[in-house]
Structure 1
């Protein structure tokens, strides 16, 4: 199976860390990290607008996020086993290449991925399908996994099966709350561990 992965919120649990940083930038006592988390899960652009952040605050957030040690971002439990069993893994993310590679290298995971498309590569942002189409033509993708609808819409557009992770919005072919259930839900079987 060839899998196209989203990065933030799908491979790595980055949103709680981003919510903490954004809380520092917002500097309002009446805004909780939980509310920030909810808004950033929609999109960063949405959260910046929702909290009425100016350019200086957005730049401060980006600077602080880029200064974090890579091991601040923890991989989701069980995801490495899925990566090991896939024939090919590719990533499509809006995050920058430097940050993505830094995190993958911190866990020794760069070898799991044969291709990575990032926000630095000039493709239109999700849910536009151009980056997915490029990866599908090159690697014949069987499954798209993401944590938000914008992660799976391009896969649906291209006729690829989709899976939402920790998200129950209607529209995906499969739903996972943990990666320990991947083989049972996607293939209907248990894999000896």
Structure 2
């Protein structure tokens, strides 16, 4: 199976750390659960929802870029899936150097053959342009993401999709943990 992965919230559990940063940016004036929920839609959505200033957004990105990789661990059982799949690629809005730093910290760079990152010049999701490039290169079988904007490009290109820890009614498959991967996806293949 050839899999295109989203990064934040799909491969690595980054939302708790991002929530803490945004909580600090807003000087603890908002509920952490609400912050996390808004971030799960998209960072752009959270900026608009909380009416963040440019200064606050810049502060967030500055703190995020300084975050130690130990604050963003991979999800449990991820290595088994990455080892099983024929090919793994990443499409993320995150800057390439931040992704590479996290992958190297956990020794997981060996599992990925390619990546399109946020600073590679492609339009942001849900635009399918970056997915089309990876599809043309590798013939992707499945896209896994944690938000609707991660799988909408897959739907536009006719690629099977899976939502991780999200039950929005738009995916072909759903996983609440990677322990379920083999039962849910492999047996149906």
Q: Which whole-Å deviations, capped at 9, do the CAs of 1:20-71 have from their partners, x for residues lacking one?
A: 0010010143x11111101111111111111111111111111111111111
Paired residue secondary structure (1:119): coil
**TM superposition outliers: structure 1 runs of 4+ over 3 Å:** none
| Structure 1, unaligned runs of 5 or more | none
SS of the aligned residue for 2:119 comes to: helix
DSSP-derived class of the 1:168 partner: coil
Measured on the aligned residues, the alpha-carbon RMSD in Å equals: 1.0
2:51 and 2:157 map into 1 onto residues whose CA distance is 35
Distance 1:111 1:44 in 2: 28
Instruction: Give the gaps of 5 or more residues in structure 2.
Output: none
Cα distance in 1 for residues equivalent to 2:28 and 2:72: 25
Q: In the TM superposition, what whole-angstrom CA distance separates every residue of 1:76-128 from its partner, at most 9, and x where no partner exists?
A: 11111100001100000001001100100000011100000011111111011
Corresponding position of 1:146: 145
Taking the aligned partners of 2:39 and 2:19, their CA distance within structure 1 comes to 7
Q: Name the TM-score, length of structure 1 as normaliser.
A: 0.95
Aligned-residue offset at 1:134: 0.1
Looking at structure 1, the residues matched to 18 and 85 of structure 2 have their Cα atoms a distance apart, in angstroms, of 29
Aligned residues: 188
Structure 2 Cα separation of the partners of residues 93 and 151 of structure 1? 9
The 5 Å alignment of 1:66-81 reads 66-81=65-80
Who is 1:6 aligned against? 6
Report the TM-score when normalising by structure 2: 0.97
| CA distance in structure 2 between the aligned counterparts of 1:53 and 1:160, rounded to whole angstroms | 35
